[in-house]
Structure 1
Amino acid sequence: MSADTTPTTDQLAGRATTVLARLGVDLDGAERGNVISRSPINGETLAQLAATTAGDVDTALTTASEAFLLWRSVPAPRRGDLVRRLGELLTEHKTDLATLVTLEAGKIESEALGEVQEMIDICDFAVGLSRQLYGRTMPSERPLHRLSETWHPLGVVGVITAFNFPVAVWAWNTAVALVAGDTVVWKPSEITPLTALACTALLDRAIRDSNAPSAIHTLLQGARDVGERLVDDPRVALVSATGSVRMGRAIGPRVAARFGRSLLELGGNNAVIVSEAADLDLAVRGIVFSAAGTAGQRCTSLRRLIVHRSIAEELVARIADAYRQLPIGSPLAAGTLVGPLVHEAAFRAFEEALEKAQSDGGKIVVGGNRVLAESAPQAYYVEPTIVTMPQQTSVVHDETFAPILYVLTYDTLDDAIELNNAVPQGLSSAIFTTDQREAELFMSAAGSDCGIANVNIGTSGAEIGGAFGGEKETGGGRESGSDSWKGYMRRATNTVNYSSELPLAQGVNFS
């Protein structure tokens, strides 16, 4: 279901300018350049900004390295005060920042607000973390010796983020890195430069309010070449990069070649298993949001539905009926649930995937069409699509960043788990079942091989309290909660001898 409610370019650009002004960014006074912000709502330009030069990158890394020498010695709870202030400002400006997310990334209002809430939540988490950067004390085999570990700030963290979560992923990294005592240099997606300006303005204000060193965070706007400079510069201790598998294949080896650290959050090809013991009402709700939410442009979006053969026909019919009722249109319009794809390239990938799926024997159950093309010729709205597949072919193995749900059937749970695991990516997965044995097996070592394995909930919508990330081609990185903070720090093992003797470990005698 689609509605012709596309705003004009002047309306969108004017709204962006007004919102940015409230956040402390003077867009009218910004230098013009080749970093172009286009709204996926109508495909037209919101603003043009200047790209960061090579000299700017070098200056930023020099000042970030110098600031690190000061920031690392600030007590962690005082570093937490800065992040607390950032959380307060995010709370105060939640609606405005969410509006920018909608304008630049095309998210509907509730999802944009949810993304900003993730930022607020990670600030809360990081403030608590600032008093819990715990090490361990271990028993020493030598008398009157103490064996322990301590955690220290790592250095400059380079953060490279993607368009689909233009603010939350930055906050996941930045809040934790700052509390850990690191400085941050951020290269956002060139698709979403305005949200980056807004986040930086709020953090700059928090830095001033907290009397912290100004250079502990720097924004670098630009294309791939800017990110490559972060990847290759030895002054960047950790590169945290979110994006495609192709991007990760380039970044990982280059950072490793200089013995730096990388934290990679790459592709997802997420599956839900629906058992014959599932609560289908629950399953339908979870599947529809996971597959159609954000127009299928989350790394955790549901792409594969693996359903027991005995209930496949009923379940697919119910999901298809729900799809037909989804309001598609401008994410600024009340009631819209499915907004636009981010740009034309995403639409072309959507078309190509459907053509390949059909050539492989797939059948489109519902969707598959572009809508609103007459009212928004430069924007790309599509119907969320269900395709039944005879088997898991190569197109199903590839991640298409669009609302395509491939349906496969199974006879035994072992078969379903094998299908779940038989793709190169390993981010998110889920099972819907009321059978505890099935649920426990799915979460066991013999079950899902993904970094996220859910029961009776969809693949998307992770909370910040748990570590977020995946295995295999997803990159192995972990961000946000749990003990992900350790990736932003270095560990030292300490042995203290408080005796008057010098016994050696393992009973070695060297007298």
Structure 2
Amino acid sequence: MTPALENYALGRWVAGTGQQQELYDASTGDVIATASSDGLDYAEMMHYARTNGNKALRKMTFHERGRMIKALALHLDSKKEDFYTLSYRSGATRADSWIDIEGGIGNLFANASLRRKFPDKPFYVDGDPIALSKGGNFIGHHIMVPKEGVAVHINAYNFPIWGMLEKIAVNLLAGMPAIVKPAVPTAYLTEAVVREIIASKILPEGALQLVCGTGQGILDHVTYQDVVTFTGSAETGRKLKAHPRILAKAVPFNMEADSLNSAVLGPEAVPGTVEFDLFIKEVRKEMTAKAGQKCTAIRRIIVPENLLEDVQIALGKALAQTTIGHPQAEGVRMGALAGMAQVQKVRQQVQELAKNTPIVYGDLDNVQVIGGNCKVGAFMSPIVLLNSEPFRFTDTHEVEAFGPVATLMPYHDVDEAITLSNMGKGSLVCSVATSDPRTAQEFVLGAATHHGRILVLNEEVAKESTGHGSPLPLLIHGGPGRAGGGQEMGGVRGVEHFMQRVAIQGSPSMITAITEVYQQNAKQIEKDKHPFQHYFEELEIGQTYVTHKHTVTEADISNFANVSGDNFYAHVDATSLEGTLFTGGWRTATIF
């Protein structure tokens, strides 16, 4: 009997009660599980998360939350081989799965370490105090506190583990619980990880719930204290963003959508240069990793017109080395797409693109497969199209084939390269391979308005670059326009997305009491006991010790210069400032 995935709701594992949706092995076409979310009470799930998970997490300090996330990362890392075994069924090779599994766990580790950027308190003091009065007795400040709701994460099928872990790592550090809704085709991987998380008992009750089915109606009960995040197609994202409840309750909605990312070859990166080789390697990797099913994959290859043929030949040779087949078969470097439905959709998109931009590498109808059957498995050849007139045939900048597909196109100068890259109408990432700092600056400043991240590739980063398609926990992941207009991760920036910033005004003493950070002009606490006689726990914010007054003379300055070696003329010569904008003032000083 085919196993049914279970949802984790209200502190227990439950199966959906209605129509079961079948999930398939991407390489063999076998049914491996079914899923349904029918029967779940989303209103009750959100209430449970707010009253249990939220309250527990809000009471914890950032450091406590960070250590909790680290413990979770260590636990999942000890179980990762189980996830690898299951991940093969999604069509992913071990290298592909590494991105999903260990990339996701790495996000937990990174956010656990991020706790050091925050105080050991449940809230965060943001920025510097602001003087609001001439006398200094009325000031303003900003603090951030966790929202009182739940983070609802609606994720894509291509990264069922990373997609969940990179998001919950941030909301947990911020102090919010989560309800995760993975895409159904690969939900079995998300369920396996959530089972381990729940079994570990590391998270407080209500901190994490899981919906494995369609999740129909999940947004009907969100409020302004909740946060909704979405990863997937731009079309679906726009529909969800326009949900009546999202609009009526002003619910924060963060969207990260698939985009037509580009890679640009600099004019000086000719064949034989390190930059040319890096460019070809990066394009090949981004076309074939996860069978091109990455929101950051390179879709448009923009190269100098005089190098178009060189790039086409070099890329063809690189792609010819890509063996395709069952991810567990020896020697396979590219596995299957997530399912036959995805193959059909990509084929249709390529056929649309090929009306004006011919296929110059690959075959839609034929693919050699190792250890699998292309009739039942979701296998596909890498496809390269050529758009020799990219300003005329603009489908290249409109239609995305979400698979191992990219379009090659020429540019005349750097300004044209910028224009072509920006014609994607907003992308998650683009890259430029160049050894010329002037080219790099011109391109980055011209393309920055249309991209969430820009990678500059040259010989200096060849050994250490994480690559075009690797979003990193401490950098923002998102982009304008077609890419959704949102931002995920980004270190402290990502944590702030799940917190409420509030401006506070008052006297320095009151702001000191609220923030637990001493503010200038606040009341000072004087005690008779010497500070060295206090235990750390006895010290109070604002506790002050005033020593005897002492006048610093020129002799003291000279003696200090002899001891420290600081003989800079402006520090020791009383006449050095004469005739300048600066006047004396340093000659004597009174300190306390």
- TM-score normalized with structure 1 length: 0.86
Which one-letter code corresponds to 1:389 in the other structure?
N
**Matching residue of 1:444:** 445
What's the CA shift for 1:141? 2.4
1:459 paired with 2:452, answer no
Q: Equivalent residue for 2:304?
A: 308
How much has 1:186 moved relative to structure 2? Answer: 0.8
Partners of 2:199 and 2:159 in 1: CA distance: 22
Q: For residue 354 of structure 2, what is the amino acid of its counterpart? A: Q
Equivalent of 2:262, from 271, 275, 290? 271
**Residue 251 (structure 1) aligned with residue 237 (structure 2):** no
Secondary structure of the residue aligned to 2:46 is helix
Shift of 1:52: 2.2
Q: State the partner residue of 2:485.
A: 476
What residue ranges of structure 1 are gaps of 5+ in the alignment? 1-9, 21-26, 501-511
Give the conservation status (yes or no) of the 8 Å contact 2:16–2:37.
Answer: no
Assess, with a 3 A threshold, how the Cα gap between structure 1 residues 445 and 419 changes in structure 2: closer, same or farther: closer
Q: Structure 1 residues 340 and 492 mapped into 2: Cα distance closer, same or farther (>3 Å)? A: same
After TM superposition, give the deviation of residue 100 of structure 1 in Å: 2.3
Q: Which residue of 2 aligns with 1:167?
A: 161
2: CA distance between counterparts of 1:449 and 1:213? 40
Tell me, in whole angstroms, the C-alpha distance in 2 between the residues paired with 1:433 and 1:448.
Answer: 20
Question: Residue 503 of structure 2 aligns with which residue?
Answer: 493
- Aligned partner of 1:378 in structure 2 is 376
Against the structure 1 CA distance between its residues 498 and 150, is the aligned structure 2 distance closer, same or farther, given a 3 Å change threshold? Answer: closer
Instruction: In structure 2, give the amino acid aligned to 1:251.
Output: L
| Per-residue deviation, 1:429 | 0.6
Q: Alpha-carbon deviations, 1:318-346, whole Å to 9, x = none?
A: 11011112100011223211111222232
Identify if the C-alpha distance between structure 1 residues 64 and 179 changes in structure 2 by more than 3 Å, giving closer, same or farther.
same
Helix, strand or coil for the counterpart of 1:214? coil
Measure the CA separation in 2 of the matches of 1:494 and 1:235.
21
Please say if residues 271 and 459 of structure 1, whose CA atoms lie closer than 8 Å, have aligned partners that are also in contact.
Answer: no
* Aligned equivalents of 1:369, 1:326: Cα separation in 2: 17
Answer whether contact 1:40 1:341 (CA < 8 A) is retained.
Answer: yes
Give runs of aligned pairs for residues 103-114 of structure 1, distance below 5 A: 103-104=89-90, 106-114=91-99
2:224–2:252 Cα contact (<8 Å) kept: no
Contact 2:158 2:293 in 1 (8 A): yes
* Residues 35 and 193, structure 1, Cα contact 8 Å, conserved in 2: no
Bigger mean CA offset, 232-241 vs 471-480: 232-241
* Aligned residues of 1:347 and 1:380 also touching (Cα < 8 A): yes
Q: Given the alignment of the two structures, is residue 117 of structure 1 paired with residue 113 of structure 2, yes or no?
A: no
The alpha carbon displacement at 1:74 in A equals 2.1
Indicate the residue corresponding to 2:230 in structure 1.
Answer: 241
Root mean square deviation of aligned Cα: 2.6
Deviation at 1:246, TM superposition (A): 0.8
SS of residue matched to 1:398: coil
Aligned residue number for residue 205 of structure 1: 199
- What are the residue-to-residue correspondences of 1:36-435 with 2, within 5 Å? 36-49=22-35, 51-67=36-52, 68-104=54-90, 106-133=91-118, 134=124, 135-142=126-133, 143-154=136-147, 155-206=149-200, 208=201, 210=202, 212-223=203-214, 225=216, 228-230=217-219, 233-234=222-223, 237-254=226-243, 255-278=246-269, 279-371=275-367, 375-392=373-390, 393-396=393-396, 397-435=398-436
User: Contact 2:304–2:410 at 8 Å: present in 1 too?
Assistant: yes
* Structure 1 residues 76 and 365: CA distance shift in structure 2, 3 A: closer
Determine the C-alpha separation between the residues in 1 that align with 2:447 and 2:64. 44
**Within 5 Å, which residues of 2 pair with 1:10-49?**
34-49=20-35
In structure 1, what residue type is equivalent to 2:498? Y
Kept after mapping to 1: 8 A contact 2:292/2:405 = yes
Separation in 1, partners of 2:353, 2:257: 23
Q: Is 2:421–2:447's contact at 8 Å kept on the other side of the alignment?
A: no
8 Å CA contact 1:291, 1:405 repeated in 2: yes
Distance 1:138 1:54, change over 3 A: farther
User: Could you tell me which residue of structure 2 aligns to residue 4 of structure 1?
Assistant: none
Q: Is the 8 A contact 2:349 2:400 kept in 1?
A: no
What is the SS of the residue equivalent to 1:359? Answer: coil
**Greater RCO (CA < 8 Å, at least 6 residues apart):** 1
- CA shift at 1:30, angstroms? 6.8
Helix, strand or coil: the match of 1:191?
helix
Q: Which has the larger radius of gyration?
A: 2
Q: 1:363 to 1:118 in 2, by over 3 A?
A: closer
* Alpha-carbon separation, structure 1, partners of 2:87 and 2:219: 25
- In structure 2, what is the Cα distance between the partners aligned to 1:358 and 1:37? 31
Given that 2:361 and 2:382 are in contact with CA atoms closer than 8 Å, whether structure 1 keeps it comes out as no
Per the normalisation by structure 2, the TM-score is: 0.75
Give 1:220 shift. 1.2
Match of 1:503 in 2: none
Give % identity: 22
Moved more, 365-374 or 124-133: 365-374
Q: Which amino acid aligns with 2:419?
A: E
Following the alignment from structure 2 to structure 1, what is the Cα–Cα distance between the partners of residues 222 and 286?
A: 38
- Aligned residue-pair number: 472
Structure 1 CA distance, aligned partners of 2:351 and 2:415?
30
- For 2:428 and 2:438, locate their aligned partners in 1 and report how far apart those are by CA, in whole Å: 23
Q: Which moved more, 1:160-169 or 1:112-121?
A: 112-121
Is this contact kept in 2: 1:83–1:175, CA < 8 A?
yes
Say if 2:37 and 2:215, in contact at 8 Å, map to a contact too: no
